[in-house]
Structure 1
Amino acid sequence: MLKKIFIKTFGCQMNEYDSNRIIDTVKKIGFEKTDNYEDANCYLLNTCHIRDKAKEKVYHEIGRVKKIFRSKKKPIVVVAGCVAQAENQEMLKREPYIDIVIGPQSYHKINQTIQGYIDKKKKQEETEFDTISKFNYLSKIKNKHSKVSSFLTIQEGCDKFCHFCVVPYTRGPEYSRPFDQIINEAKEIIKDGAKEIILLGQNVNAYNYKGGNKEFRLSDLLLELENFKELKRIRYTTSHPKDMTNDLIEIYKVSNKLMPLVHLPVQSGSNKILKLMNRKHTIEEYLKIYKKLKEINSKIEFSSDFIIGYPEENEEDFKYTMELIEKIKFINSYSFIFSPRPGTVAASLELVDAKKSKKRLETIQQKLSQNQIKKNKSLEGKTLNVLVENKMKDGIKLFGRTEYMTSVIFDGNTDNIGKIVQIEITSSNQNSLFGVLKDNYKKKVA
């Protein structure tokens, strides 16, 4: 009998990749994906521990599931991902409605865990760090979730131990997948229609795999992917400034497919705060990377992440962050008020006054928004290369992205999906560009 699984994914792109691989895996025990949660025999939450109140959001979601299935047969409820890893047995004790807790390095065991629950009706918990077995197992199951723009995890875990971050505790130490394993998966998703691959890792540019007598870095992967004719664009995220090595920077000189947007989280513009965060880089080192890349290609743009109101941040520290934003003019960034994560060094530090933090966040977000709006406004009237990804929900317009990941919405034929087309930009807002296919535009004004 065919069973149905509904997966709700929180957080990062890696979780999205993991959710897709879980779907590929559970097909082997008779489950198929459903987008209608009310039909689910198994309800899985793939959780993220980066944002504030992540744990409570999970329990809130479980409460919602309870209401949905109040008058229906209860599905198997699985909590997966980083919150599952961090809380493990505690979740099973606190919420009896949860049946299975499974961490992100145990997904190769998900079939036996679900089947074990079905057979014995005994709650299951799998949260061991077993990354090698996980990827060896998943490499034998075809990735059937290729899109025009597809994610591909190449590295997991982190050895940096930034004082605010839970990743080393929820994803484990840095692990780089075997080079050939990654290339083989890339071949499959390109064969299935991917025109863009986004390489993923908690520290993606820390990728370092020793195979035989050779050491493979991210730069080697990028060069290898460059050879695939059907692949048009390559990206990678998320990077750490400490791992922005010269061999990686030099790739921007020779690659025709590596996109000119560098997402490089800085977190703060103050060296004092960076040291307190244990970030292992300085602003001077960050600016040196920026300068090197700009000298290679002046069209390269940067995006970043900022934590505002980190313990001991004062007005001078915040001023340095504002100065850095003015200097680099990030075209797209994420900024959040610091919130402590249990188990991290920063969890026990005294918080900056909440009103001050909120005011600083509003100031910085206003500045970042202005940069973004100004950049998008400057593109009006220009013709851009856009990779068309899909049809919008309205069923009329098409959605694509520029080389800088900016969303572009326009009228077009579904035949354009998967192609790079030229779009004349006619208007913009903070987050998106709007335009028309260049050929259509010429016909209209003729």
Structure 2
Amino acid sequence: MNEEQRLKSGLIKPDLSPGLGDKEKDYSQYFETVYTEPSLKDAKKRGQEEIAYHDDFKIEERFLGMGKGRKFYIRTYGCQMNEHDTEVMAGIFMGLGYEPTNTVEDANIILLNTCAIRENAENKVFGELGHLKPLKQRNPDILIGVCGCMSQEESVVNKILQTYDQVDMIFGTHNIHRLPNILHEAYMSKEMVIEVWSKEGDIIENLPKVRHGNIKAWVNIMYGCDKFCTYCIVPYTRGKERSRRPADIIHEIRQLAADGYKEITLLGQNVNAYGKDFDDVEYLFGDLMNDLRKIDIPRVRFTTSHPRDFDDELIAVLAKGGNLVEHIHLPVQSGSTSMLKIMGRIYSREEYLTLVKKIKEAIPNVALTTDIIVGFPNETDEQFEETMSLYREVGFEMAFTYIYSPRDGTPAAKMKDNIPMEVKKERLQTLNSLVNAYSKEAMMKYEGQIVEVLVEGESKRNDQVLAGYTRKSKLVNFVAPNSTIGKLVNVKITAAKSWSLDGEFISVVEKEEVLL
């Protein structure tokens, strides 16, 4: 067996030390687990492999105490799913004996949990890796790792291999549960440890978590996405849709309720598709939401929804109210049918508006928010105006707005990015002016009303003021005793701003009260 065969078999590791001509090298051939460049054609064929469920996660005895006397630091980029992954990794670190720290200077291990959704997010990570290099040079014993969605991209792995020799380990979204093994390898090896799986069929239960606070919690109900919007990298970095079993989700939420949590947010790249991958039971997202109504926890939210999978049964369940809040985030991305087709969104403007009409008829007091992309390839002034007119017609109360940027490996990246940046910025500014106006209009309606607020803590801008959110996710600032933190309170709104409300504390909400 020659050296190349031994490398490919994994018997030895390649020499990754910088050298002449390294920029021309492609090391991916040596790591069969590295997720290859996304292929829409190949990815759409997936889904035949069986989903494996593991409910017996535990840290191997040989790894216990690995972190004694050591500290970890995790910097998280991107969505709530990444935040939730960080909670799991923190739980594993604590189980290994590590202690958390808030500064990289104190850390023995530094992890960057990355996002691949936009180019700017990736650039921040590469910039941070550059800032960490002097720290690594001063203290070579520090371990630096890159995980999350960026790690699932082969081009990113190759760039790290070629440019960032201060990185000790790279692992992906599918093998977080392997963190103890990865750390062990990183301590033992002189070379970079890479473990990135393209395998995407496993669901691991009983993972430890260190949650942020004890008031609100995120609960993952499914993984992956099968929608393949032409601009989106998520179906490749997060894999195919896999739903957790209902009993596991319900058990976790019941435990959170027993622990005193007041609000949970169900997470998934497309929560509306929950249960569609089950082949042994007919149990969809509406069924899950109906069961969660029966749990004694004040608020249940979910994110994010795809309009295509928002069915009548789900609307009927949400209309029952109770602990199911009256806020729905429903990304539209564009108001133009022709642009939606190019984006691969699988619905038209008319179908989206029909869905909105159904939701409003069933839940008259619903607050709708959305996501919108401007400057997608070939977007005309007329198509942009269709987005503006749809925004007005729906009357969204808030929107996350973005300028389109191509992601390598997605179908849209092969399209000519033919909208000048100055045009993109102008459209974004025009859209944001409308978003701001509609947000202010929605806020003004609260003046003089008494609303239910879940108190989360002190205001970021004034520690003499408390802050919390209404059921419709409106930020409220008010003066009240610190003893109300973590409780539901009644607040009378005295002033409305574009993005927040000022109020006067009235009382703690009694259990039987339900205020919208």
Give the stretch that moved more between structures: 197-206 or 395-404.
395-404
Deviation for aligned residue 1:373: 1.2
Q: Match of 1:353, as an amino acid?
A: P
Measured in 2, the distance between the counterparts of 1:60 and 1:363 equals: 31
Q: Give the alignment partner of residue 416 of structure 1, picking from 467, 476, 484.
A: 484
1:177 corresponds in structure 2 to 244
Q: Match of 2:469, as an amino acid?
A: R
2:164 corresponds in structure 1 to 95
Q: Match of 1:321, as an amino acid?
A: T
Give the stretch that moved more between structures: 330-339 or 180-189.
180-189
Q: Give the alignment partner of residue 142 of structure 2, picking from 75, 92, 100.
A: 75
Deviation for aligned residue 1:140: 4.5
* Helix, strand or coil at the partner of 1:216: coil
Measured in 2, the distance between the counterparts of 1:213 and 1:61 equals: 46
- Residues 1:400 and 2:468 aligned together: yes
Measured in 2, the distance between the counterparts of 1:244 and 1:439 equals: 37
- Residues 1:354 and 2:416 aligned together: no
Q: Match of 1:436, as an amino acid?
A: E
Q: Give the alignment partner of residue 408 of structure 2, picking from 342, 351, 356.
A: 342
1:6 corresponds in structure 2 to 73
2:190 corresponds in structure 1 to 121
CA 100–418 in structure 1, closer or farther in 2 if over 3 Å, else same: same
Once the two structures are superposed, what CA deviation does each residue of 1:71-117 show, in whole Å capped at 9, x if it has no partner?
44552101011111112344233210111111111101111101111
Q: Match of 1:324, as an amino acid?
A: L
- Residues 1:63 and 2:130 aligned together: yes
- Residues 1:271 and 2:337 aligned together: yes
CA 336–102 in structure 1, closer or farther in 2 if over 3 Å, else same: same
Measured in 1, the distance between the counterparts of 2:193 and 2:283 equals: 38
Alignment of 1:137-176 (within 5 A): 138-141=205-208, 144-145=211-212, 147-176=214-243
- Residues 1:15 and 2:82 aligned together: yes
- Residues 1:284 and 2:353 aligned together: no
Give the stretch that moved more between structures: 218-227 or 36-45.
218-227
CA contact (8 A) 2:478 2:503 kept: yes
Measured in 2, the distance between the counterparts of 1:141 and 1:355 equals: 47
Deviation for aligned residue 1:254: 1.9
Alignment of 1:303-382 (within 5 A): 303-351=369-417, 352-382=419-449
CA contact (8 A) 2:77 2:121 kept: no
Measured in 2, the distance between the counterparts of 1:104 and 1:189 equals: 25
* Helix, strand or coil at the partner of 1:163: coil
Q: Match of 2:463, as an amino acid?
A: G
Greater helix fraction, Structure 1 or Structure 2 = 1
Deviation for aligned residue 1:30: 2.1
Once the two structures are superposed, what CA deviation does each residue of 1:203-249 show, in whole Å capped at 9, x if it has no partner?
111111666852221112212221122x1001100100011011111
Measured in 2, the distance between the counterparts of 1:311 and 1:284 equals: 22
Alignment of 1:225-264 (within 5 A): 225-229=292-296, 231-264=297-330
1:47 corresponds in structure 2 to 114
Q: Give the alignment partner of residue 208 of structure 1, picking from 242, 252, 275.
A: 275
Deviation for aligned residue 1:190: 2.3
CA 300–75 in structure 1, closer or farther in 2 if over 3 Å, else same: same
Q: Give the alignment partner of residue 93 of structure 2, picking from 26, 32, 41.
A: 26
2:102 corresponds in structure 1 to 35
Deviation for aligned residue 1:142: 5.3
- Residues 1:223 and 2:309 aligned together: no
Q: Match of 2:456, as an amino acid?
A: E
* Helix, strand or coil at the partner of 1:97: coil
Task: Please report the TM-score for the alignment, with normalisation by the length of structure 2.
Answer: 0.81
Deviation for aligned residue 1:34: 1.2
* Helix, strand or coil at the partner of 1:84: helix
Deviation for aligned residue 1:396: 2.5
CA 6–51 in structure 1, closer or farther in 2 if over 3 Å, else same: same
Measured in 2, the distance between the counterparts of 1:192 and 1:46 equals: 28
- Residues 1:437 and 2:467 aligned together: no
Task: Please report the TM-score for the alignment, with normalisation by the length of structure 1.
Answer: 0.93
Q: Match of 1:364, as an amino acid?
A: L
CA contact (8 A) 1:88 1:127 kept: no
Measured in 2, the distance between the counterparts of 1:170 and 1:439 equals: 46
CA contact (8 A) 2:453 2:489 kept: yes
Q: Match of 2:441, as an amino acid?
A: K
Deviation for aligned residue 1:193: 2.3
Once the two structures are superposed, what CA deviation does each residue of 1:355-384 show, in whole Å capped at 9, x if it has no partner?
222111110010011100111122122111
Once the two structures are superposed, what CA deviation does each residue of 1:251-307 show, in whole Å capped at 9, x if it has no partner?
122231111111010000000000011110111111111111111121012100101
Measured in 2, the distance between the counterparts of 1:178 and 1:68 equals: 44
CA contact (8 A) 1:426 1:434 kept: yes
Aligned pair count? Answer: 437
* Helix, strand or coil at the partner of 1:214: coil
* Helix, strand or coil at the partner of 2:283: strand
* Helix, strand or coil at the partner of 2:319: helix
- Residues 1:294 and 2:360 aligned together: yes
Runs of 5+ consecutive residues of structure 1 not aligned to the other structure: 441-446
Q: Match of 1:330, as an amino acid?
A: F
Q: Match of 1:417, as an amino acid?
A: I
Measured in 1, the distance between the counterparts of 2:132 and 2:255 equals: 36
* Helix, strand or coil at the partner of 2:463: coil
* Helix, strand or coil at the partner of 1:14: helix
CA 253–378 in structure 1, closer or farther in 2 if over 3 Å, else same: closer
CA 350–196 in structure 1, closer or farther in 2 if over 3 Å, else same: same
Deviation for aligned residue 1:411: 1.1
Measured in 2, the distance between the counterparts of 1:371 and 1:210 equals: 38
CA contact (8 A) 1:92 1:101 kept: no
Measured in 2, the distance between the counterparts of 1:397 and 1:23 equals: 30
CA contact (8 A) 1:265 1:306 kept: yes
Larger of the two Rg values belongs to structure? 2
